[in-house]
Amino acid sequence: MTTAALHEKALISANDLSHTFGSGEVRLQVLRQVNVDFYPGEIAIIMGPSGSGKTTLLTLAGALRSIQEGSIVIGGIELRGATPDRLLAVRHQIGFIFQAHNLLESLNARENVQMGLVHRTDLTIDEIRSRSMAMLERVGLAGHEHKHPPQLSGGQRQRVAVARALVREPSIIMADEPTAALDKTSGREIVELLQRLAREMRSAVLMVTHDNRILDLADRILTLEDGRVEENHRGLERVADLLKEGINRIARYPAFFAGGPRHTPSSDYTAFADETQRMLSRAHADIHVLVARRLCVNLVFEAKMLADLSDVIGLLEEGVRQFGDLFCERPASVSTNLVNSFFESLEFLLQTAAEAVSSRKMEDIDMLNRLTEDRGPMMESLRARHFERDNAASRQVQDYGFDISNLFARLIYFLHVLAGQLAGLGREQKKL
């Protein structure tokens, strides 16, 4: 993961944003000191009851409404007090999609998409047509370019609207109820399309919706009520799910390499371990990007704790693989009782850890904590007994016993740290 990726800059940064309609007795404050950032490649869904300020936030961030209090910075441009020319430059970075697709019925699909490039005086007509055709193909409408809006279904018309918004290659996409007029299947297809293209183009998507059927596609859900924002970060939930699956997979490693001396794990184990590593690497990269972002206060601690969990689970996975290699390559003359006791203990502890991570119940976490605390004296005792018993053993056997004992002790330490992190996360969540 590069340093640049870890410190990814926000495309939109709103600071202490407040907005009021009316005055006197009819004065209504719809936004109260809102602080929120939006980042490349993410879908942020904005929800809330009617009149809660959803569309107001969208239009302020889209440079369509004047800022009364606070600040919005887009691409380094401060919107409050900006000149009309600078506001126009900001709007050219944004692709707008609305509930009503607003297509011109006198134009065909390609011509409607071309409307998104009318400001591009640097492009020739042929280039504009070529880009429009390519975008129609990307949204799944190749072969429909000559059809007029009345000849297209509701979902197809909204795809044309998406193509028109994206053909300008915007850094920001703003969508106001884009699925409201569509059935469940068409609405989901539109949002999945936006999700895929936004990630390909590294655009931020801000979507106002009441559609509960598409919430699982969001990276973040911002709920506006009484002028304030509460945030539910689906990205954190996805990382937590990856870590749960990862620790459950690590707990299955011993079943692959349980065998006699010089037993070689099957190719299934190699493929299984490689997939686990990829999963944990993805979780590690995602969570460290999220930690570098400005999250709502109630999510900051969880993000940092998940980052710590990701780090220690990664170290645990690497250690368990090393243990498997040592276990399988042990010399034939090594005491099977000692090595098998390590193996059985590790298998049990990994299953206990997987249970604790999956359930996050304090009783499971306490069990893991008790099983892994004060293991230093125990390990010293094991080593001492091993060397006393095998005083006449070869140097190879003694070195092997020392190596596997130390590796086991390190794995115990990682598991104990994991228990402490889970306990800390549980205590913080209770406070919130």
Question: Same structural domain for residues 345 and 371?
Answer: yes
Instruction: Please compute the mean of the pLDDT values over residues 299-321 and round it to a whole number.
Output: 88
Of the residues 234, 262, 290, the one at which a domain ends: 234
pLDDT surpassing 50 at residue 3: no
pLDDT, one tens digit per residue, over 195-228 is 888 888 888 899 988 888 888 888 888 888 888 8
Question: Same structural domain for residues 189 and 286?
Answer: no
Question: Same structural domain for residues 21 and 74?
Answer: yes
- Give backbone dihedrals phi and psi of 297, rounded to 5 degrees, phi first: -55, -40
CATH of the domain at 249: 1.20.58.220
Confidence of residue 29 (pLDDT cuts 50, 70, 90): confident
Average pLDDT, the chain: 83
139: Cβ contacts below 8 Å, ≥ 6 apart? 159, 160, 162, 163, 166, 193, 197
Count CB-CB contacts under 10 A for residue 251: 21
CB-based contact 39:8 (threshold 8 Å): yes
Whole-angstrom Cα Rg for the chain = 28
Question: Same structural domain for residues 153 and 169?
Answer: yes
Measured torsion, CA atoms of residues 136, 140, 143, 146, in degrees rounded to the nearest 10: -40
Question: Same structural domain for residues 324 and 370?
Answer: yes
- Report the number of distinct structural domains present in the chain: 2
Closest CA to 205 of 58, 48, 15, 51: 58
| DSSP string over 164-179 | HHHTT--SEEEEESTT
Of the residues 234, 268, 285, the one at which a domain ends: 234
Report which DSSP code applies to 266: P
pLDDT surpassing 50 at residue 1: no
Of the residues 234, 261, 296, the one at which a domain ends: 234
Question: Same structural domain for residues 252 and 292?
Answer: yes
pLDDT at residue 424 in the model:
81
Question: Same structural domain for residues 150 and 175?
Answer: yes
For the sheet with 204-208, list strands across it: 94-98, 172-176, 204-208, 43-47, 220-225, 228-233
CATH of the domain at 174: 3.40.50.300
Confidence of residue 188 (pLDDT cuts 50, 70, 90): confident
Helix, strand, coil abundance in the chain, percent, nearest 5: 60, 15, 30
pLDDT surpassing 80 at residue 132: yes
Lookup result for tokens 């299984």? 272
Report which DSSP code applies to 426: H
pLDDT at residue 237 in the model:
82
53: Cβ contacts below 8 Å, ≥ 6 apart? 19, 30, 31, 224, 227
Confidence of residue 239 (pLDDT cuts 50, 70, 90): confident
Confidence of residue 315 (pLDDT cuts 50, 70, 90): very high
pLDDT surpassing 90 at residue 350: yes
pLDDT at residue 140 in the model:
86
Q: What is the pTM of this model?
A: 0.63
Count CB-CB contacts under 10 A for residue 12: 23
CB-based contact 263:330 (threshold 8 Å): no
225: Cβ contacts below 8 Å, ≥ 6 apart? 48, 49, 52
Question: Same structural domain for residues 181 and 284?
Answer: no
Question: Same structural domain for residues 345 and 419?
Answer: yes
Lookup result for tokens 């993000």? 303
Question: Same structural domain for residues 77 and 47?
Answer: yes
Question: Same structural domain for residues 160 and 285?
Answer: no
Residue 33 belongs to domain spanning: 3-234
Question: Same structural domain for residues 26 and 160?
Answer: yes
